[in-house]
Amino acid sequence: MKPEEAARLLHAYVDRELDAAKSLELEAQLAADPSLRERFERLRDLSAGIREKADYHAAPSSLTER
């Protein structure tokens, strides 16, 4: 995996949107690249902070029916 692709996939990885194969590939890249791992850790911490502080509102049933 090229560094640019790994960096592009970080958001999807943090949000658990990658399939198992891409996740494993990115995890290998994270283990080998300290700079990428640092970016991942900052993004993960930011995402956790937002989830912790943000209000969650379920979508109205009229939207989920669409």
- Give the C-alpha separation, 52 to 56, whole Å: 10
Of the chain, the percentage scoring pLDDT greater than 90 comes to: 62
pLDDT for res 21: 96
Q: Is the pLDDT of residue 55 over 60?
A: yes
Residue pair 30/37 in contact by the 8 Å Cβ criterion: yes
pLDDT band for 62, please (50, 70, 90 cuts): confident
- Give the C-alpha separation, 52 to 66, whole Å: 29
Q: Look-up: residue for tokens 């890249």?
A: 29
Between these two residues, 10 and 1, which has the higher pLDDT value?
10
Residue pair 43/10 in contact by the 8 Å Cβ criterion: yes
Q: Which two tokens stand for residue 23?
A: 């996740």
Q: How many residues does the chain have?
A: 66
Question: Average pLDDT, whole number, for the chain?
Answer: 90
